[in-house]
Chain A
Amino acid sequence: GAVVSQHPSWVICKSGTSVKIECRSLDFQATTMFWYRQFPKQSLMLMATSNEGSKATYEQGVEKDKFLINHASLTLSTLTVTSAHPEDSSFYICSATRGTAFSGANVLTFGAGSRLTVL
């Protein structure tokens, strides 16, 4: 089955530093990956859509200069939280699918998540 790997699984950093989170599709190619954020006791919120070879598409209210997304290959997308602050502390989750849209044949596979704590 499809496997999505995230690294690191948890990270602690000082305020003002940048943190990079990697998302890899291990056994399939993904032209599109998605990044979600989840605060405690809340549901997942879609942050952005990562497109291989092109710019990411950000959801309304998500700062593209703060959350840099790079999708350099068909199996790797990275999310960099720049100049992190305590309010950026959250659970970041990536996902990917083989297909390009939901038509019943596609399943979105999620990574295990990366917990970011900014001190």
Chain B
Amino acid sequence: DAKTTQPPSMDCAEGRAANLPCNHSTISGNEYVYWYRQIHSQGPQYIIHGLKNNETNEMASLIITEDRKSSTLILPHATLRDTAVYYCIAPDTGRRALTFGSGTRLQVQP
């Protein structure tokens, strides 16, 4: 899998946008970027994934740079329930499992 680098922790005020960065400078042209989050003592939850274009769904937006070496997950209006560890993953095409790094621990503050 392409190596991803994320800050270990971030804080965000409730109601504000949370912008979580991820560096994946070694990503190859056909590898997608996936974002998952894990709320304490639960299984990981899928958030969003993308290849080249920016993506948006009901949970978040994913902004991928034109050179695809980095991306940003945006939670537009963070709530306390968004406090979790967020994982950015770029699995090898053809790989069947996901490899998790350390992720970013997001703390949403009231």
Residues of A participating in the B interface, judged by any CB pair closer than 8 Å: 4, 6, 32, 34, 36, 43-46, 49, 91, 93, 95, 97, 100-104, 107-113, 115
Contact B100 A44 (CB under 8 A): yes
**Contact status B91-A102, CB under 8 Å:** yes
Q: Residue on B with the closest CB to A111?
A: B43
Indicate the member of A93, A95, A110, A115 with the most B CB atoms within 10 Å. Answer: A110
The CA of A36 and the CA of B97, in the complex, are separated in Å by 10
The interface residues of chain A lying within 8 Å CB-to-CB of B93 are: 101-103
Min Cβ gap B30→A in Å is 8
Q: In the bound complex, do residue A46 and residue B99 qualify as a contact, i.e. CB atoms below 8 Å apart?
A: yes
A sample of 28 inter-chain contacts (CB < 8 A) reads A4-B43, A6-B43, A43-B103, A44-B100, A45-B100, A46-B97, A46-B99, A49-B97, A93-B43, A95-B44, A97-B96, A101-B94, A101-B95, A102-B93, A102-B96, A103-B93, A104-B32, A107-B34, A107-B46, A107-B49, A108-B46, A108-B98, A110-B44, A110-B45, A110-B46, A112-B43, A113-B41, A115-B41
Asked if B102 and A43 make an inter-chain contact with CB atoms under 8 angstroms apart, the answer reads yes
Q: A6-B43, A104-B49, A108-B98 are in contact. List 18 more A-B contacts (CB 8 A).
A: A36-B100, A43-B100, A43-B101, A43-B103, A44-B100, A46-B99, A93-B43, A93-B44, A95-B98, A101-B93, A101-B94, A102-B92, A102-B93, A102-B94, A110-B36, A112-B42, A112-B43, A113-B41
Residue total for B at the interface (Cβ-Cβ under 8 A): 26
Provide the residues of chain A in CB contact with B43, threshold 8 Å: 4, 6, 93, 95, 110-113
B residues near A43, Cβ cutoff 8 Å? 87, 100-103
Indicate if the CB atoms of A101 and B96 lie closer than 8 Å: yes
Which chain A residue shows the least CB distance to B46?
A107
Please indicate the chain A residues that have their CB under 8 angstroms from the CB of B91 in the complex: 102
Cβ of B51 < 8 Å from any Cβ of A?
yes
Q: Check B41 against A91 for contact (C-beta < 8 Å).
A: yes
